[in-house]
Amino acid sequence: MSIVSMPELLARAQQDKYAVGYFEAWDQYSLEAVLEAAEECGSPTILGFGGAVANQAWLDRHGVEELAALARCLAERSTVPAAVLFNEARTFNQIERGLRAGCNTVMLDSSHMPFDENLAWTRKVVEVAHPFEAAVEAELGHLADGSDPSVQASGTDPQEAARFVEQSGVDALAVSIGNVHILSTGEAAIDLELLERIHSAVRVPLVIHGGTGFPPSAIRAAIDHGVAKFNVGTRLKQAYLAGVHAALTTLMALPGRPNVHNVVGSRGEEDVFNQGKARIKAEVIALMRLYGSAGMANT
């Protein structure tokens, strides 16, 4: 199945009242885990990687092209509809490189900027991305950061959102309604009334970042109020680390020295990274079922 556009994925999701997950990956194991989960449960998906928590020097040397190539390779062989996203790039140059490397959706991390500056940069991203037939996601409002209490939230204003979408030409809008980035424990307090007002004001699909701490009990209401995409990252890395830790703990308790070729990179049952991958896959399948996208790949 060929790669599909994110707007097409989100339009189908809105039509059939479910949401598509973007499960942020960082290497081949994590990308494979997301795709295998999607294929196993018959879900459309968005494959990709993020710029916000990656080493910027590495990204700027070659990381954008390497991760984009991996994500696009998997999307091209996918048996379910898949888009390829470069999420929260830090610079416009990274956006341009991601587009040239084959990402068909991009997002610049510009929500911390004042409204007019965010709008200007987003318009610039739209101008460069649309000729590539690539979609653009942007964020208005700013999320709190679960790893840094000094980062304060700024909720999305519905009327500003309407103006932002109209003047920027974005294809999807990420919003701040109490959702929190990098929330490693607990749940965020979500303002569904604000979400409803934003949905009434804008014409594009809405996106929730900070999906790790988004309350499962609020997901159906969020979908009903225009959310067509959830971004999840933190809980996937937590799951991966737990899987690798468990594998290493078991390995170190065994007598004798392990065969390093079996436990590192073999892709077999003894591969400690494969066991981390299995944990990611299980998390993604559970979330796809929660979002209602499982079984929707061929609708």
Residue-range definition of the domain harbouring residue 14 = 6-242+281-291
Rounded CA-CA distance 290/254 in Å is 38
Of the candidate ranges 12-16, 54-58, 254-258, the one whose mean pLDDT is the lowest: 254-258
Averaged pLDDT of the chain: 96
The amino acid present at 67, given as its one-letter code, is L
Share of the chain above pLDDT 70, in %: 100
Asked whether residue 299 is domain-assigned, the answer is no
Asked whether residue 258 is domain-assigned, the answer is no
Asked whether residue 87 is domain-assigned, the answer is yes
Q: What domain count does the chain have? A: 1
Asked whether residue 200 is domain-assigned, the answer is yes
Cα dihedral 40, 41, 44, 48 in deg (nearest 10): -50
Asked whether residue 36 is domain-assigned, the answer is yes
Q: How far, in Å, are 3, 54, 63, 68 from residue 104 at the CA level?
A: 9, 20, 17, 10
What are the pLDDT digits (tens) for 92-135? 999 999 999 999 999 999 999 999 999 999 999 999 999 999 99
How confident is the model at residue 181, as a pLDDT?
95
Rounded CA-CA distance 136/82 in Å is 16
What are the pLDDT digits (tens) for 40-67? 999 999 999 999 999 999 999 999 999 9
What are the pLDDT digits (tens) for 164-203? 999 999 999 999 999 999 998 999 999 999 999 999 999 9
How confident is the model at residue 150, as a pLDDT?
86
Asked whether residue 145 is domain-assigned, the answer is yes
Domain CATH code at residue 19: 3.20.20.70
Rounded CA-CA distance 81/168 in Å is 27
Asked whether residue 261 is domain-assigned, the answer is no
Asked whether residue 11 is domain-assigned, the answer is yes
Contacts of 183 (CB under 8 A, 6+ apart): 146, 210, 212, 213, 234
Q: Is the pLDDT of residue 84 over 80?
A: yes
Q: Mind giving me the DSSP string for 49-98? A: EESTTS-HHHIIIIIHHHHHHHHHHHHHH-SS-EEEEEEEESSHHHHHHH
pLDDT band at 2 (very low <50, low <70, confident <90, very high): confident
- What is the pTM (predicted TM-score) of this model? 0.97
How confident is the model at residue 1, as a pLDDT?
66
How confident is the model at residue 148, as a pLDDT?
84
The two counts, helices (H) then strands (E), for the chain are 12, 10
